[in-house]
Amino acid sequence: MPQWKGSGSIPPASSLPGPEIPLGLIARVEKMGGQSNKAENAYGLELICSDLRTLRFGFIPENHSRKQVYEAINHFAFPASNNLDFFAFAYSATFEIEGWSLYSHKNELARVIAGGSEWRISAVNEDYKLCDTYPSQFAVPAAVDDTALENAAKFRTRNRLPALSWVHPGTRASITRCSQPKVGPWRRNEQDEALIKAIQGTNPRSQKLVIMDARPKVNAVANQAKGAGYESAEVYENTEILFMNIPNIHVIRDSHRRVRDLCYPRADDLHWHAKLEDTHWLEYNKLILQSAVMVVDLVQQGTSVMVHCSDGWDRTPQITALAMMLLDPFYRTVMGFATLIEKEWLGFSHKFAQRFGQGNRNHGDEQRAPIFSQFLDCVQHLLTQFPTAFELNETLLQFLGDEIYTCRFGTFLFNSEKERQELRAREKTRSAWSHVIANLRLFSNPLYVQQDAVLSPVMNARRMQLWPGNYLRWSPEMRKADAAMARQWELRNLVDSLQEQVTRLQGQEAK
C-alpha cells in the first residue's frame, strides 16, 4: 500500500484498483476486525458513503498499513475537521459559461412581480445587518418602507420577516415566506401586524391570507413556551391558520436512515414493502407534496398564502419551491430549476453545511438532516407523474444530490449567502450550474414538451413510490433501470436527429 503522509496527497484514482469515490462522499470510516483475525478480508476498513454505498477494503494484517490509510482518509475526507480548504477551492476546471453570473435576485424578482406595482425590491439587507440569513435583496409590499421592515423583523425568529416568493400573474395572489413570530403566550407587535396587512393589501381580489404553518400544531404550541409560537386569527385579521403536520428534522433524519438501511446492499427482503412503510418516508413526502398542492389551489383561486415553519429554512422552502414548480412552467426548465434553487434554498439560507455536515467527521451531529434531498425526492415524484412537463431529468437530481457532499463546487457550500460572500465563493470556486450548462444534454429530458398549464398531481398512497434511481442505484435489481436509461439516450439521439432534419428542410424551403 502507498505510504501517505499527513501533508501529502492521495494517488490518482486511476492508479488504484476498485471504484472511484469522491472523498466528500465519505460520511465516516470504520475499522473492521483486529490483527489477530486471519479470515480473508475480515481485517480492514469500511467506508460509509453519503450516496448510500458502504464499501469494505481488506488488508493484510502483517503489513500494518491500515493505520496509515485510515489516518489519510480521515484527514482528507473531512477538511472542515482538519482545518483544510474544501476541494472546491482547488478545483480549476474551466467552463465556457460561468454559472455564478446566471442568477440575479433583482432580475428574478422583477420577473415575478412584473405587471404590478404592489411589490417593490428592497435593498435594506444589502449588508446583511437586518437579517444575516436572508438574501441581499428581496421583495416586500410597496406600501411598507425600510424603517417599518426593520421594526417588523424584530418580531420574527432570527429576523426572518415575511418576504415574497412568487406572484400569480393572473390573480395577483402571492406566496410569501418567513419564520415563526415571537408571540410567546401573549405578545403582539403592531409593525408585524401592519406588514401582514400590507401583504393582504397587495391582492386586488381577496384580502384573506392563509398562513400555512408547516409544523404539527403541538410543536408550534410548545414553541410558545420559548417565546415564539404561531399567529392567532383573532390578532391577524382576515387570516386562516393551517397546520400541515410535517415532522421536524430529527424525525426526517431517522426516517431517511431507515430507508438507507433497507435499500443497501440489497432490497430483496420478503417483507421489504412493509418495512418501507414502517419508515414513513413516503408518508412524509406525501405531506410535503400535499401542502404544495394546497398552496397552488389557494393561489389559483385568488387567495394569498404565507408559509413558515420554525426558522423558515427547512420545511418552508420544500413547500414554496414545489408549489412554484407546479404553478410556473419556467421553474420546470433546467435553468428555471437552477433559479428556483438559488432563490428559495440558497438565497433564503437553507443551512447546507449544517444539514449535510460537509467535510465534518461528526456524523452524529443532531443538526444533520436530508431536507434538500427530500425535496429532490418530491421533485422526482413529479417527474414520474408528468414525464413530458419537465425539461430537467432524473440525472440532474442525482447530480445535485451527490454534489452537495462532494464539495466540488462552491454553490452548496456554507449556510448562507452572507457566508458564501465573506469567503468569496463566487471568486474562488466554480458554480455547479457551470457544469450543468456544459452538459445540458445530459441533464435534459428528451420527452419534454413546453406547456404553460398548472400541474395538478394526484396525491394518494398508490402513487407514492420510492425513487429507485437514487436509493437502489447500487443494487443488482437496478440493472433494469440501466436499460431504461440507455433507452432515454436513444430517444435523445433520435430527437436531435429529427431536429436536424427539420432545420435542414426549413433551410431548403427558404431557398
At residue 433, does pLDDT exceed 80? yes
Work out the average pLDDT over 334-353.
98
User: In the numeric block, which cell numbers belong to residue 279?
Assistant: 419508515
Instruction: Report helix, strand or coil for 240.
Output: strand
CA 395 to chain centre: 15
For residue 38, name the pLDDT band (cuts at 50, 70, 90).
low
Mean pLDDT lowest among 39-53, 278-292, 415-429: 39-53
Q: How much is the pLDDT for 474?
A: 83
pLDDT over threshold 50, residue 340: yes
Q: Which residue has better confidence, 2 or 89?
A: 89
For 26, 192, 222, 496, the CA distances from 157, given in Å and listed in that order, are 34, 12, 15, 51
> For strand 44-49 and strand 163-167, is the pairing parallel, antiparallel, or unpaired?
unpaired
Q: Which amino acid, one-letter code, is at 251?
A: V
C-beta of residue 322 within 8 angstroms of C-beta of residue 166: no
Q: Are 345 and 372 in contact (CB under 8 A)?
A: yes
Do residues 122 and 139 lie in contact, with contact meaning Cβ atoms separated by under 8 Å?
yes
pLDDT of residue 65: 81
- Name all contacts of 220-224 with Cβ < 8 Å and 24+ positions apart: 220/180, 223/180, 223/310, 224/183, 224/184, 224/185
pLDDT, tens digit (0-9, with 9 covering 90-100), for 204-214: 999 999 999 99
Cα 308 to Cα 289: distance, rounded to the nearest angstrom: 15
Cα separation of 481 and 303, whole Å?
42
- DSSP annotation of 49 reads E
Task: Say which amino acid occupies 345.
Answer: W
Q: Rounded to whole angstroms, how far apart are CA atoms 404 and 408?
A: 8
Residue 281: pLDDT above 80?
Answer: yes
One of 178, 309, 378, 407 is an active-site residue; which one? 309
The residues that bridge with 164 in the sheet, in sequence order, are 176
Query: Mean pLDDT for the chain?
Result: 91
With helix as H, strand as E and coil as C, how does 186-239 read?
CCCCHHHHHHHHHHHHCCCCCCCEEEEECCCHHHHHHHHCCCCCCCCCCCCCCE
Q: 147: which residues sit within 8 A by CB, 6+ positions away?
A: none
> Where does 13-77 sit in CATH, by number?
2.30.29.30
Structure confidence at residue 6 (pLDDT): 32
> Span 278-289, mean pLDDT?
97
When mean pLDDT is compared across 7-21, 25-39, 104-118, the lowest value belongs to 7-21
pLDDT of residue 9: 41
Q: State the pLDDT at residue 481.
A: 55
Q: Looking only at Cα atoms, what is the longest distance across the chain? A: 83
Query: Does residue 447 sit in helix, strand or coil?
Result: coil
Cβ-contact 334, 1 below 8 angstroms: no
- Across 429-433, 491-495, 497-501, the highest mean pLDDT is recorded for 429-433
Segment 447-480, tens digit of pLDDT: 999 999 999 999 887 889 999 999 988 877 655 5
The answer to whether 309 is a known catalytic residue is yes
How many C-alpha atoms does 473 have within 13 Å on its Cβ side?
A: 14
Instruction: Kindly report the number of other CB atoms within 10 A of residue 477's CB atom.
Output: 13
Please tell me the predicted confidence (pLDDT) of residue 246: 98
Grid coordinates belonging to 315: 420545511
Joined grid coordinates for residue 100: 455564478
- Residue ranges of domains in the chain: 13-77, 104-474, 482-511
